[in-house]
Amino acid sequence: MKPVLLVDFGSTNTKVTAVDVENCQILGTAAAYTTVETDINEGLHNALEIMEKTTGHLEFEERYACSSAAGGLKMISIGLVPELTAQASREASLGAGAKVWKTYSFNLTKGDMKEIEEYHPDIILLTGGTDGGNSECILYNAEMLSQLSYDCPIVIAGNRCAADECAEILKDRSISICENVMPRLGELNIEPTQKQIREIFLKRIVQGKGLSEASDLVSGIIMPTPSAMLTAMELLSDGWEDHRGIGELVGVDLGGATTDVYSIAEGNPANMATVMKGIQEPYAKRSVEGDIGMRYSVQGILEAAGDRKIAKLSGLNRQKIPQLVEYLASHTDYIPDNEEMEKLDFALACAAVETAVARHAGSLEQVYTPCGLTYLQSGKDLRRVKYVVVTGGALIHAKHTEEIASHALFDESAPGSLRPENAEILIDRKYILAAMGLLSQHYPAAALEIMKKEIAYYGHKE
């Protein structure tokens, strides 16, 4: 047996997972309140004590951690055209595990700069223009950013012909230059920028959140938690060397403040009559719905779905819904303790999953041309995806998890939405996905086998 400890310092809870990498087994899991305001070691010690009641004392040979503590990695992205470089900038930021507060297009205004100052992001991604294309916008925005009142790390990943001049303008700042996120029209190149964002997170942001205090207990914070989640989803889908994955999938992580959606799929048009609109999105995509969450952002679910839909899903009186939702928003630690609130929580979870996946998936619209009927596809076509993998406390601890998760699937009432049609629901019951993303950095084959056993139950299918 070779025990390895995997730690996830979350905004609310610190989660620990012990695995035996030799036998590809989960030894135990536990969670405790994250004590980031005082001493983060305290929350970690508490979680380990809880887990040891089940596993007994373990001598871990290796310890690794990821983190989204204190809100995770706050970013803004800046591009030129909303549908092109600004979108590419946003995809790069989200794929790196960041929480993108806002994406700006064209020239930054004084009002934009005031917003940025007030938000105080951890990192700014500055893009704009294809290589050899427009350079005026990115240079103008570099000048505006040079007036920031504090030294925020700035990643420059736009028109390569303007990169050095941008660096000169921002020479008194902490800057990094990466390859252009969109070197040619419609072509994404986001991996170098994602790598740089993660490196900044490791070197600077972790210390700012006090996580360096845990260095005596772990081998270091390897990546942001959402990045670990995306890594796990990719591994589960694609496999590792001669170890097969399970195929294309959509992942849903329903939390109290946000809902993250992942898709590991090509998402190309299904037939010759369909034409892509906008940029082709990345094979491994992450989106964050910051207004959709089961407690802190519960009002956002009501606004997106409407009280009529929540009433229909829950069977509760429509007039009473806003009052009950307001109670949840002001009691973020509340766990339903009666039938009425259980029904409401069920309805809110269904609506949250449906809204978040619909926003993540692509859409199809009919256009009549001189050549006849044509379809325009925006985003990814996920209809042929095989699996929907769900995680997050609000889902894995629910009484009707599969029924809630089924709201990620295609619905005839929204025929233009390209959500999965006949996907199988898989549940991360032990909340191990982020831990497996961490483990995959050192033991990818073991991480894959554990996920297949614990989440996909692959042994029962083959």
Going from the C-alpha of 320 to that of each of 314, 326, 423, the distances in angstroms are 11, 10, 35
How many other CB atoms sit within 10 Å of the CB of residue 425? 18
The token duo for 413 is: 């009432």
Please enumerate in sequence order all residues whose Cβ is within 8 A of that of 243, keeping only pairs 6 or more positions apart, or say none: 445, 448, 449
Distance CA 102, CA 114 (A): 13
Phi and psi of 436, rounded to 5°?
Answer: -70, -30
pLDDT tens readout for residues 52-78? 999 999 999 899 988 875 555 688 999
Q: Which amino acid is at 369?
A: T
331-360 pLDDT, tens digit per residue, is 988 889 999 999 999 999 999 999 999 999
pTM, 2 dp: 0.84
**Domains of the chain (ranges plus CATH)?**
3-69+212-242+434-460 (3.30.420.40), 73-204 (3.40.50.280), 249-427 (no CATH)
Rounded to whole angstroms, how far apart are CA atoms 107 and 117? 16
Distance CA 223, CA 2 (A): 23
238-242, 342-346, 392-396: which range is least confident on average?
392-396
* Average pLDDT estimate for 5-12: 84
pLDDT at 461: 44
Tally the C-alpha atoms within 13 A of residue 217's C-alpha that lie toward its C-beta.
Answer: 22
Structural tokens at position 354 = 């449906």
Helix pair 339-360, 298-305: axis angle to 10 deg: 70
pLDDT at 38: 58
Which pLDDT belongs to residue 459? 42
Instruction: Give yes or no for residue 83 having a pLDDT over 80.
Output: no
Sequence-ordered list of residues with C-beta below 8 angstroms from that of 365, at least 6 positions apart, any chain: 375, 376, 378, 416
Lowest-confidence pick of 15-19, 273-277, 359-363: 273-277
Distance CA 357, CA 216 (A): 40
Asked if 314 and 288 touch (Cβ cutoff 8 Å), the reply is: no
Does residue 151 contact residue 124 with C-beta atoms inside 8 Å?
Answer: no
Amino acid residing at 31: A
Amino acid type, 350? C
Distances (CA, A) of 429 to 24, 232, 334, 454: 17, 15, 21, 8
pLDDT of res. 68: 74
**DSSP assignment letter at 420:** -
pLDDT of 460: 40
| CB contact at 8 A, 100 and 231 | no
Contact between 230 and 238 under an 8 Å Cβ cutoff? The reply is no
Please state, rounded to an integer, the average pLDDT across all residues of the chain.
Answer: 88
